[in-house]
Amino acid sequence: MSLPAGSTIGIIGGGQLGRMLAAAAARLGYRTVVLEPQPDCPAAQVANRQITAAYDDQTAHAELTAASAVVTYEFENVPVAAANALASTAPVYPPARALEVAQDRVTEKTFLNSIGIPTADFRPVGNDSDLTAALKAFAGNGVLKTRRMGYDGKGQRVFRNMEAGGFAGTFEAMGSVPLVLEAFVPFEREISVIAARGIDGAVAAYDPAENVHRHGILHSSTVPAGISAETAAAAQAAAKTILSALDYVGVIGVEFFVLADGSLLANEIAPRVHNSGHWTEAACVVSQFDQHIRAIAGLPLGSPSRHSNCMMENLIGDDVSRVAELLGEPDLMLHLYGKAEARPGRKMGHFTRISRRA
Ligand code: AMP
């Protein structure tokens, strides 16, 4: 059964993704309540109401579920126990299992491999001698990452062509938290697929975007990606396999490395709308945000097809000073997040340049 117009959707997290979800919900006739500790957050500026409290505040959770017909979230670090507790009162989409898989890089890669989706080779690292052994196994080339709570390249260290050994102190320098060493992937490009699954099990995948990162943060997404039709189809098929295996509801982002022969290794999954899918609001009739709201509200999914080619670029920190010049360009959609202060590394907005397809 679909959610009647006028119902309220609860959103955990009040950043730009929450803001875009709230705007999409309003477009589809719904109200939104946002749980976010920071007052006047980007999402609250366009939502109906903000509950200003910590993400794990149980009184706030009771308030959120009492007000909401369905609850969703804009970031993957919502505690699994909290998502399960919330789900006993109101439907929570995507399901808690997706959070559990996405929150730990070892669980994530083990899950992906178990459903036939290849990833970089990896070894859990719990101390310096694990690191030495793992680096030896990968001929001295690898990327060391925190298993949990990593995003935008934070908590990572790259090892290239190094003799395995002599890494005393690395585990402590990384914060003495569980780590994973991934084999270094000599990828040709990075792509991502944004896909959705409805409550009825219907799935839809957008065209892959080709992503460029700078300093570990997404810089741009270009569609179409410079890959073959076969590689694009394989990436979309992998995303759909993940959705079905998780009995998922909502939008997911799946990042892949593309190797020289066109084969794919999945890097990570994000159980939410994704920065590399922002282009869909300018180049598709149904954006990833509308698609997510449709999915969690039990409405039919929209078409993921694209009417334009496009390039999305993030406005990070002082990039926001380019706004006046960008607004002078035809066929450019600008999206600002309502953040007062442009700190370095802070995502302030993005724009998408489109060129219509013949
Ligand atoms: P992640 O936090 O896993 O998305 O990693 C951030 C970025 O680091 C990726 O987008 C890649 O550009 C790079 N990277 C991550 N893992 C690897 C790897 N195993 N081999 C080579 N580059 C990597």
CATH superfamily of 189-356: ATP-grasp fold, B domain (3.30.470.20)
Distance CA 202, CA 148 (A): 31
Question: Which CATH number is 121-182 given?
Answer: 3.30.1490.20
pLDDT of residue 155: 74
Whether ligand 1 lies within 6 angstroms of the CB of 120 is answered as yes
Distance CA 348, CA 340 (A): 9
- β-pairing, 189-197 vs 209-214, is antiparallel
Question: Between the CA of residue 279 and those of 92, 164, 192, 283, 284, what are the distances in Å?
Answer: 26, 42, 12, 6, 8
Tens of pLDDT, residues 52-107: 999 999 999 999 999 999 999 999 999 999 999 999 999 999 999 999 999 999 99
Token pair for 73? 């979230």
Rounded to the nearest angstrom, the distance between the alpha carbon of 330 and the centre of ligand 1 is 34
Indicate the SS3 state at residue 41: coil
Rounded to the nearest angstrom, the distance between the alpha carbon of 83 and the centre of ligand 1 is 28
Distance CA 305, CA 88 (A): 36
Please report which confidence band the pLDDT of residue 164 belongs to, taking 50, 70 and 90 as the band edges. Answer: low
- Lowest mean pLDDT across 11-20, 43-52, 73-82, 162-171: 162-171
Report H helices in the chain: 16-27, 58-67, 80-87, 96-103, 105-114, 128-137, 170-173, 229-245, 280-283, 288-296, 323-327
pTM of the entire structure? 0.96
Please report which confidence band the pLDDT of residue 165 belongs to, taking 50, 70 and 90 as the band edges. Answer: low
Beta strands per DSSP E along 147-280: 156-159, 179-183, 189-197, 203-205, 209-214, 217-223, 250-258, 264-270
- Lowest mean pLDDT across 45-54, 82-91, 162-171: 162-171
Distance CA 162, CA 139 (A): 8
Whether ligand 1 lies within 6 angstroms of the CB of 275 is answered as no
Question: Which CATH number is 8-92 given?
Answer: 3.40.50.20
Rounded to the nearest angstrom, the distance between the alpha carbon of 158 and the centre of ligand 1 is 9
Q: Mutate which of 138, 151, 267 to test ligand 1's pocket (most atoms within 8 Å of Cβ)?
A: 267
- β-pairing, 49-51 vs 31-35, is parallel
Residue nearest to atom 19 of ligand 1 (CA): 184
Question: Between the CA of residue 123 and those of 100, 110, 179, what are the distances in Å?
Answer: 19, 11, 9
Domain regions of the chain by residue span: 8-92, 121-182, 189-356
Whether ligand 1 lies within 6 angstroms of the CB of 184 is answered as yes
Give me the DSSP letters along 120-159: --EEEESSHHHHHHHHHHTTT-EEEEESSS--TTTTEEEE
Q: Mutate which of 112, 125, 149, 185 to test ligand 1's pocket (most atoms within 8 Å of Cβ)?
A: 185
- β-pairing, 347-356 vs 308-316, is antiparallel
Rounded to the nearest angstrom, the distance between the alpha carbon of 267 and the centre of ligand 1 is 7
8 Å CB contact between 122 and 182: yes
